[in-house]
Amino acid sequence: MIGRTVEQVKLISRPRPLTSAEQAQVLAQIRTHEGDKFEPTTVEGDYQRVYGLRKFSNVEARFEPTATGVIVIFELSQQNLIKEIRFKGNEHVDTQTLENAASLKPGEAIDSFRLSLAREAIVKAYQGKNFPHARVDIDMDQLSKTGIVTFNVVEGPRVKVRNVVICGNKSFTDNKIKEQVKTKPSFLFFSSGVFDPDQVDADVANIRQYYENHGFFDARVGRKIVVSPDQKEVQVEYVIDEGRRYVVDRISFRGNHDDRVTEDILRKELRMTEGRFYDDELVKRDIRAIIKAYSPYGYIYVTPEPNPDPDYLQIRDQRILKKEPGKVEVVYDIHEGKPFKLGRVLVKGNTRTQDKVIERELRVTPGQLYNSDEIQKANERLRAGGLFTGVTITPIHTNPDSEDTRDLLIEVAEARTARFMIGAAISSNSGVAGDFTYEQRNFDITNWPASMSELFSDRAFTGAGQTLRISLQPGSELTRARIDFVDPYIFDQPYSFGASVYLSQRIREDWNENRLGAQFSLGKRFSEVWSARISIRAEDVQIDNVHNEELRAPEILEAIGHNSITSVGLQVKRNTTNVPILPYQGTVTTAGWEHAGALGGEFNFDKFTLSYDWYHTVYEDLLERRTILAIRTDAGYISGDAPFFEKFYLGGIGSVRGFRYRGISPRSGIDDDPIGGDFMAAGSVELNFPLAGDLLRGVTFFDAGTVNPELEVGTIRTSVGFGFRLTLPFFGQVPIAIDFGFPITKDDKDDTRFFGFSLSTGQ
């Protein structure tokens, strides 16, 4: 019948014919017209739209063939219409709220199914406002006689959850179990204490699942509701019988036939091993390790689905409870599929960002074996770069002539990369400062606007992944004005260029330090790990407003006035970390040399620096929330006659915490002024862990360091402490830091400060 001419569109209405107004309303929804070619999909859409009028209890669409075409017929079953909607008994919830919940209107058909849904929605509305025992009935006798829908409401008492109690838990704390439930006690404005019996039942299931995920396969969970005498408060008790916790008796693999991925290789990275208690999170983590083992050989992993592609890698974990009590075997059932090569790279969703900005983060090339692990790392790099709010990378098959190739579809959702921030910053290192900053993280210096209107659009000067930052930060201790430009890929080659022009004034306790300068750098990436950078710096440093000169150190007095410095520098870096913000694996080794006086100036000295940072994931849960151990070490040495403002200092946030900013330093003068040292060594051990996802993280740390006038080890200062890292997306990716440090060993002349912080706001 498809394609035959529609000779007529008929409307058949029962039990009475349609009025002219009703007929016009129905025909307005029908897009099948006389003379059109018959299309079943169009008729299906017509049926949906007519039924959506809510005027008929039933709508049927059918067709009758004729000698020359087809007749399309819509049969409409009419029903009495709602004349009015009333509510009775609602004292604590206003009528408008209930009308919105019911989603009924006068003039719609009286449909028993929709009336039932409306009644349930009203009950839910009451439950959400702490009326769990609310009942709602419809006066059906009145409805059949008059067409008036009357909802009779019996609200019952307002009930709040007063307390949530966990009973019988031995292996997990109350707080850990409460994290699995959504029923919360009433507490100020943070929780309304809604009591929802259905949610309580869901909480029971969640607790049971939590125990099962941790090897308690025989656990039983129930709940008990204790009602107060006035029936206005309840205490919800979750009663747990943990049972036995199962131990993994055996780990086995099925279906692993590729000789390059042996069982020894698969077992090498397993965290769930024989003899350990079963833990579902470790099993899921081990599946990712198995995927990683297969990745270099072209296998593409897909999650188990009802009908997955048989050519893709699939891994399912199975639990087999043994006859011996408390023993379980974990089986990884592997379907290897076949290896693929990488074909084309297709990018979608980037309306401003150039394709090359995305493609250069892949670090894989068409023609090589598909590597799922490398592509996952590319996904992380793209997300961490700050240009996109979402990144999805999918293998797709677009070329029927190449069955062993899969193209790569990269779908991105672009972030807002331009920001003008007006705010404030406060730091224990630099005091209070205002912040007026314009930043474009997706700058393109060559994308000039074609008109004045384009100048203020989101497309002008954007798209190349460059960074432009212009900032003015007037402050109580430090005032700065700065312009920074960075191009990470000059001429689409692995070279970077950076330029900075800056002006600053720091008001120290007994003198002022003013700097005016510029710095230019050229970098080269030799591989994914190794890079180098050369830089040129020119600065004028002015020391003025010196207080009580008779008490000041000679090193400070000698520098009063203007001091010119020029330098050239070389930095070599080896970086194996995975992401720039909060890395959780890999190392960073940086060696630097700077020669002052190469291009003139008043000083001639060489500064050597060396740093080594190590990151390791101690624990990772199923949601990829990681506990990270970081070890950082720094050392520096100056050869030659460097002024005091170029020397090394320690102390403050980002250094040895528990000490004042620059509170660790050699001293000179009657007032023991800090004048810096020619030798510095420092280190830190820090454990960084999630408290509320990655939004709020905690840290514990041990810091140590020393600064000395010469190449020698003097008093080593040490401290321990704890802190918090709060990341607010609208303030950027750099977290707000608050640290509490407690010195263990120190010098008598050191300045201590147990509280360190770095807070900034802006929008």
Give the CA distances from residue 572 to residues 490, 536, 616, in Å, rounded to whole numbers and listed in that order. 19, 15, 23
Do the beta carbons of residue 512 and residue 496 sit within 8 Å?
no
pLDDT band at 610 (very low <50, low <70, confident <90, very high): very high
pLDDT higher than threshold 70 for residue 485: yes
pLDDT band at 203 (very low <50, low <70, confident <90, very high): very high
CATH number for the domain running over 341-414: 3.10.20.310
On the question of a common fold for 6-78 and 247-335, the answer reads: yes
pLDDT of residue 454: 63
Q: What is the pLDDT of residues 283-336, one digit of tens each?
A: 998 998 999 999 999 999 877 676 678 889 999 999 999 888 899 999 999 999
pLDDT of residue 452: 66
In the 3-class helix/strand/coil scheme, how is 392-445 assigned residue by residue? Answer: EEEEECCCCCCCCEEEEEEEEEECCCEEEEEEEEEECCCEEEEEEEEEEEEECC
Q: Does domain 6-78 have CATH number 3.10.20.310?
A: yes
Q: Would you call 734 helix, strand, or coil by DSSP?
A: coil
pLDDT of residue 757: 61
pLDDT higher than threshold 70 for residue 534: yes
pLDDT higher than threshold 50 for residue 762: no
Q: Would you call 527 helix, strand, or coil by DSSP?
A: coil
pLDDT higher than threshold 90 for residue 228: no
pLDDT of residue 269: 85
Round to whole Å and give the CA distance between 348 and 433: 41
Percent of the chain surpassing pLDDT 70: 94
pLDDT band at 631 (very low <50, low <70, confident <90, very high): very high
pLDDT higher than threshold 50 for residue 200: yes
Please compute the mean of the pLDDT values over residues 580-593 and round it to a whole number: 90
pLDDT band at 650 (very low <50, low <70, confident <90, very high): very high
Task: Give residue 320's Cα distance to chain centre.
Answer: 36
Bridge-based pairing state of the strands 160-167 and 233-241: parallel
The angle that helices 280-294 and 372-384 make with each other, rounded to 10 degrees, is 110
Which of 273, 222, 220, 224 lies closest to 250, judged by CA? 273
- Top-level class of domain 84-154: alpha beta
In Å, the largest CA–CA distance within the chain is: 116
pLDDT of residue 729: 58
Question: Which single residue is written with the structure tokens 């608050």?
Answer: 738
What's the fold here for domain 513-762? Porin (2.40.160)
Q: Would you call 731 helix, strand, or coil by DSSP?
A: helix
Sign, CA dihedral 455-457-463-469, equals: positive
The angle that helices 112-127 and 95-102 make with each other, rounded to 10 degrees, is 130
At the fourth CATH level, the homologous superfamily of domain 247-335 is membrane protein fhac (3.10.20.310)
pLDDT of residue 731: 53
Total Cβ atoms within 10 A of residue 405: 18
pLDDT higher than threshold 60 for residue 759: no
Task: Give residue 293's Cα distance to chain centre.
Answer: 26
Please give the mean pLDDT across all residues of the chain: 88
Do the beta carbons of residue 101 and residue 115 sit within 8 Å?
no
pLDDT of residue 434: 82
Q: Classify 289 in phi/psi space as left (phi over 0), alpha (psi -120 to 50) or beta.
A: alpha
pLDDT higher than threshold 80 for residue 567: yes
**Architecture of domain 160-241 in this structure:** Roll (3.10)
For residue 584, how many C-alpha atoms fall within 13 Å in the half-sphere facing its CB?
Answer: 17
Which of 686, 749, 675, 746 lies closest to 716, judged by CA? 746
Where do the structural domains in the chain lie, given as residue ranges?
Answer: 6-78, 84-154, 160-241, 247-335, 341-414, 513-762
Q: What is the pLDDT of residues 159-191, one digit of tens each?
A: 888 899 999 999 999 989 998 998 888 776 666
Report the predicted TM-score, pTM, of the whole model to 2 decimal places: 0.63
Question: Which single residue is written with the structure tokens 């509701």?
Answer: 225
Joined tokens for residue 570: 């070389």
Do the beta carbons of residue 617 and residue 585 sit within 8 Å?
yes
